[in-house]
Amino acid sequence: MNQIKLTQQSKQSLLDNLLKRSPDHYGEFEDVVAQIVAEVRKNGDQAVFSYTKKFDKWDIDADNIRVTEQEIEEAFAKTDPDFIAVMKRSAANISAFHQKQLRNSWIDTKPDGSILGQRILPIAVSGVYVPGGKAAYPSSVLMNVIPAKVAGVKKIVMTTPAGADAKVNAGTLVAAKIAGVDEIYKVGGAQAIAAMAFGTQSIPKVDKITGPGNIFVALAKKACFGYVSIDSIAGPSEILVIADESANPRYVAADLLSQAEHDELASAILITTSEKLAKEVSEQIEGFLKELSRAEIIRKSLEQYGYILLADSMDEAISTANAIASEHLEILTKDPYAVMTKIENAGAIFLGEYSSEPLGDYYAGPNHILPTNGTARFFSPLNVDDFMKKTSIIAYSKEALEAAHKDIELFAQKEGLTAHANSIRVRFE
C-alpha cells in the first residue's frame, strides 16, 4: 500500500486519483452503450437476442429467455441447505431493518377549510439487475429486492446473465425466490438495462432499475435515466478505516483486504494517527496476501488505490474521511461513537472491532447498495423511499382561497404570468 503523510496537497492528490475510478471517466465506452440501447429500444427482443448470442454465447429466444419454476427448483436442489438457511436469516434481518423506514400518507386540515397532504404509494414495477460473469452475488439480490417488497411494489422483474450453458447461477435464483422476485430473465449487460427501461416483446418495461454491474451496465443505466428511474451510477467498491493506536492491526488489515478483493479498481484506505499501527498493518497485509485466493487482484487494487495515510490528529483524520466520503467507513478507535458524531459523509458506518464491513454486506440488515466515489456527500443507501412515489394533495375552501387570493395574484403578476393571476381572480369577480 502507498504510505503517505497527510497534507493538504497529498489529500487533494488522493481525491483526484480516486475520482479516476468514476464511471464518468469511461467516455470511450459511451458510444458503444448508446448503440446497444438504441438497438434494443428500436428492435426489442430481436436486439436482445442478438447481443446475448454475441456476448454470452448461447442460443436465446422467446421460449427460453425466462427462468422457469423448474429451473428454480433445480437451483434449490443444487444449493447447500445451510446456505439457504443463512440466506433466509439474512433476508429476515434486511426486511426487519427496512420495515422501520416505511412512512405513511398524511393529511393536515385547518379551521379555514384548507386541506394539505401527501399521498405515498409504491411504484408499480421494479427492475433489478444482478451481475453474472466472474462472480455472482446472491446478497445483492436480497438487498435490491427486499426494500421494494417492503415498499409494496406489486411486480419485481430481474435480469441476470446466463452462462454458455443457458444456466443462471443457482445461488442467485435461490436468493431471488427467497426475496420474492416475480419474473427472471436470462439477459445481462447494457441490453438488459435497455430492455427493462423500454420494454420488449418478452421483458416488461419497469419504473425503476436498481442493482450493480460492470461499466457497460453503469453507462446503460446513465443513458436510460429519465425514461426510467435508477438507483445510482455505482463505481468500484471502497473502504476507509479510521484507526488509532488502540486498533488491532490484524483486524484492520483483514478489513481493508475485504474490499480490495472485489476488483482492481477497488479502494482500501487506512487513516491513522499511529505510525506503529501503520507499520504493523502493512506487515499483516503481506502475511494475508500469501494465503488469500484473490491475492493477484488485491495486489493490483492496493498498488493503484490502496493508501495508509498518517494524520497528525484525529480531527485531521476525520476531516479527510469527510472529504473522501467513502462507501464503507470503519471506526476502530478508543471511542468510536465520539468519532462517529463528527462524520458527515459516509455510505455506511461500522463501529468497533466486531463490526467489520462484511457484516453489513451480508447479514446485519442495513442495505449494502451504497453511494460510491464521494457521492455519499449527497446520496443515501438504497432504501424503501427509493421504491415509493409521493403525491401532494391540495384542497382549499372558498373562504381559505379568499384570504390568500390577492397574495397569489400579486406573485403571478410579478412573474409576468397573467393567466395564472386570472385563474385565481375569476373566482372573486
Residues noted as catalytic: 327-328
Cβ partners under 8 Å of residue 373, min gap 6:
18, 19, 21, 22, 235, 238
Closest CA to 286 of 271, 276, 298: 298
The torsion angles phi and psi of 101, rounded to 5 degrees, stand at -90, -10
Closest CA to 379 of 326, 318, 319, 321: 326
**CA separation for the pair 282, 87 (Å, rounded):** 34
Copy the grid coordinates of residue 305. Answer: 488505490
Per-state percent for the chain, helix, strand, coil, to nearest 5: 50, 15, 35
| Residues 277 and 310 sit within 8 Å (Cβ to Cβ) | no
Copy the grid coordinates of residue 212. Answer: 450493480
**Crossing angle (nearest 10°) for helices 170-179 and 138-151:** 20
**CA separation for the pair 303, 17 (Å, rounded):** 12
Name the β-bridge partners of 281: none
